[in-house]
A and B are shown apart, each in its own frame.
Chain A
């Protein structure tokens, strides 16, 4: 480059042309093309998974799958016990996780000192990264071993452990966005701070908190590993029997996929389509509403 520039008495157009590097231009274009190609490559797996789940699952996702329980022996029947199990365990997990997660979020955002806030935030971040199978072992030791019985309650607790940090972090983040004036306005009226938090701050942040809860629900509905050693799975329809094993859509897919029987493979695809509709449905609707999104 040095010395490549002609003397100043050359015209600007000539000097511009002389300073031009076709190689740099080619690298620029190639680099940008590569970046675009990588982006498209990221979208391919999503499209491929969606395509195959819909193509293979659409035929199997029928009324039988939704309304009939699995046959106790052999093949046939449906996945009634599975989606019922998912609904119940995710429901109970949400009931457990929401108060704890929101309360912890409030604590960090409104009350905690610097060090306590950092400790809890760090614990939450790390918890999100803890392999969910380890949560399964943890709850197995606490809630299955003592009773010598796999049970749906343990499954729900395991799911709750997984979603509490998600809810805590989201709550904390959205509470931080509530304008200070709103708080001060309420406090200036003599409203005690706990009432201010519950009746002014939290409702303002309701949409954001709900986002966190729904993302937690979607995550719980898609989890398999923490259920393996807790709820175990079952071929029986179990309504309300939280002391007994219970099936879930994810366990149904896992077992069906590993089965040598083609009919069960097909049913797994059908259940996968159902699960995907549920999980992606929640994700899309929640994220579209709060555009910008919350990172998991």
Chain B
């Protein structure tokens, strides 16, 4: 074998190796989806899909009548996530705009890594803060008996999704061609006008993607909400109530459920619903981000 053939072989094998690595992610994703589907479908032998999705009562261990309705959990997940987004989006975009436009380079060098380190704090730690710090503070502030409610969860999830929102928004704001801003300033626009009317619209698709990704993180978060929201099964009528999200319900019940019972399959069905929800959110984010990258190139 001559040198060239050897090099070709090496090239090929390296290429195959990377291809297989790329394939792995897809295979894992498909495998998990299939496993979820297979484990979830038997639940619907005994539960009506409509009952499952649109009943408010979840009580699979009831001594009277077992009911499997996840509407309350879906509503809780949506409520807590929306609350988190209402808190995190303005702050996140504000910080991103500050970092990309206003902050001194030295300040940025400190703040940006700090924001990214925030993403690395384990969710258990944040949940613990919810119990010992945010909970009592909320109780005092609103004159409630306790602070284990949806708002507590929203606040913590806002903190957890901030790094995603800030980081990606800042990237997309910095990616706006400098000529846009310069043109605006040359036409007599103030720095505020330049930021709000030129740069933010130009970076909008990147910012939307950032929000979507932050939302995906908030929907899927388990430990934090499990610790901070009180886990009451009642249908949530507001953020000031104790509520139980889909993720915390799975985490609470999967450890003890007898295998291969309707209850067991129903938990996987919740997982499937959650998977579809996060998948949709991520997909929308991906499409928006893709559009944005295309336009920039």
Q: Do A and B bind each other?
A: no
Which residues of B line the A interface, CB within 8 A?
none
